[in-house]
Chain A
Amino acid sequence: MILREQYEQVIFETIRRGATEISPDVLAALEAAEARETSNAAKMGLRRTCDSLLQSRVRQNPCCPDTGWPVFYFKIGNECRIEGGMMALEEATRNAVRKATKMGYLRATMKHPLTGYDPGDNIGENIPNFTYQWVPGDSLQVSYVAKGGGSECFGGTRHRVVAFADGIAGIQKFVVDSFVEATRSGGICPPNVLGIGIGGTANLAANLAKEAACLRTVGSHHPDPKFRELEENLYEAINSLGVGIMGVGGKTSVLAVNVEYAYTHIAGICVDISSNCMVARRGTSVIHADGTVEVLTDPKWFGDR
């Protein structure tokens, strides 16, 4: 049995770590981008970003004040026993968000969509949001994602239904055109981690895109050669655009392109893109049935990736 007191504390620690300590794959990708740059402005922008991220680890403050939507992904073992059940897990998560907000690890960003009312603790209708996946075993894995508003609100998240007749060309054109429009003025904080969901219903494609952007590590690849090729071709194409850091020019416009798919009705293929900020923030912990806790740098949300 995994005890309430323990999982509430582990979830809080996961939020704190996710908001303040950049994942090693993201930091390495930003450093590699800096090394590739030849323009002074782009090089300096990336260097300053990396320096600030390293300081956040020490200062224990958020990598970016826009900690955005608090989003949670749980991988729950089929044999896992959680004290108080799933409703207690959600209540504990809300408590952890409240505490993290009060302590300044999260900004009080979540507000009423019509009035702008600020509850001050990031808790409200449908927020935080939870996604569950059932896996073999008896452990509980939590991933926290700080989904920033820049990459979410300014065109980095798009949906289109592409005709099967338009094939991969239609999918790629939608992705490239959407990315260009979204980075017109750097609103989505490029270089981004770009997630793409193909197939399924609209909500499924959108979820796959979001999870591909937020949970897959930079440097991971889709195991299916067709999708891996699509990832690589789009990565090359988008990095040839010259969007660069914060949209003012440079060799790196995306840190990664991660594609996930679902079988679908081929009358129309849902294609969704979801951008994650250059400061792509996530934290993952596992609580095993014996009470030991493990910190993971890779949530492996999609099987081995």
Chain B
Amino acid sequence: MAEYHLSTPLSEEQIRDLHVGDTIYLSGQVFTCRSRLHRWVFDEGHASPAAAMERDALIHVGPIVLREDGKYQLVSFMPTSSIRFEKWGAKSVREWGLRMIIGKTTMGEETMKAMRELGCVHCSPQSVSPNLWCDSIEIDDVELFDELGTIEATWHMNLNELGPFVVDIDTHGRNLYDEHRDEVDANREAALRKLGIPEDFEYTRLY
């Protein structure tokens, strides 16, 4: 499990070198996206924001940003759960040419397949530590602020060594959480036995 300090734009080779469990820090230009932007582009047929077409790293995040004297001040930042964007995940990787998604949790089979084919990874935080990240982020601009609102808009961020994040989906078909799941499942059986719940327990079907 290696540590990488990467900068956008990211090359396919750099991304294919990453493996589940590796730690990354990211610098350079990225953009943000949540549910409403996905729907705006992929369901409603609007044009993609310029940053999505130009930048190859996406953060699933709804930051708190205040506008003061014409400048944007980032108040709080924590990547958000990616699994809820699964419906649009593969499209976002393909159409926006993504190399990296920083989010939370995991993504599903379709997105993993697109990531494997095209060379893209998913990374997640292992802490809830907005204040340790805020100083690594500058906000340059925003798109679709009026249309989508403050947290669903596309923020243009310039990162300086933002991290650490763990690679949880790599281009080799591995998923950190799927691997951890087997361990938890084994522990669950032991926990249920310890609580006195027999292996053949079945709920009474009330409905």
User: What is the interface of chain A, defined by CB distance below 8 A to chain B?
Assistant: 41-42, 44-49, 51-52, 55-56, 59, 61-66, 104, 107-109, 111, 116, 118, 120, 149-150, 153-154, 161-163, 165-166, 169-170, 172-173, 176-177, 180, 183-187, 189, 233-234, 236-238, 240-243, 245-249, 267-268, 277-279
Majority DSSP secondary structure for residues of B touching A: mixed
Name B127's contact: one of A118, A162, A245 (CB within 8 Å): A245
Contact between A108 and B149, CB atoms less than 8 A apart: yes
Shortest Cβ gap from A272 to chain B (Å): 15
Q: In the bound complex, what is the Cα–Cα distance between A242 and B80 (angstroms)?
A: 22
Contact with B105, one of A59, A62, A118, A186 (Cβ below 8 angstroms): A186
- Given known contacts A163-B204, A247-B180, is B126 in contact with A45 (CB within 8 Å)? yes
Nearest to B77 among chain A residues (CB) is: A65
- How far does the Cβ of A111 sit from chain B's closest Cβ, in whole Å? 7
Known contacts A64-B128, A165-B204, A278-B128: A172-B188 contact under CB 8 Å? no
Residues on B with C-beta less than 8 A from A187 are 81, 83, 104-105
Docked Cα-Cα span, A224 to B64, in Å, equals 43
Q: Is the CB of B13 closer than 8 A to any CB of chain A?
A: no
Q: Which of A52, A66, A154, A165 contacts B62 (CB 8 A)?
A: A66
Which residues in A have their C-beta under 8 angstroms from that of B50? none
Q: Is the CB of B131 within 8 A of A61?
A: yes
A65 to B204 Cα, complex, angstroms: 42
Distance from A159 Cβ to chain B, minimum over Cβ atoms (Å)? 12
Inter-chain CA distance A61–B178, complex, in Å, is 34
Q: A118 contacts which chain B residues (CB < 8 A)?
A: 148-152
Which residue in B64, B191, B201 is a CB contact (below 8 Å) of A107? B64
B159 to chain A, nearest CB (A): 17
Q: Does B132 make an interface contact (CB < 8 A)?
A: yes
Contact A41 B126, CB 8 Å, known A107-B62, A176-B191, A180-B188:
yes
New A-B pairs, 13, CB < 8 Å, besides A59-B131, A185-B83: A42-B126, A48-B129, A61-B76, A62-B64, A64-B130, A65-B76, A65-B130, A118-B151, A165-B204, A173-B203, A241-B187, A248-B166, A268-B206
In contact, B177 and A247 (Cβ under 8 angstroms)? yes
| Known contacts A153-B81, A186-B105; A116 and B39 CB within 8 A of each other | yes
13 contacting pairs across A/B (C-beta < 8 A): A47-B127, A56-B130, A59-B131, A64-B76, A65-B76, A104-B66, A166-B203, A173-B197, A184-B177, A240-B194, A249-B183, A267-B206, A268-B206
Smallest CB gap from B166: residue in A: A248
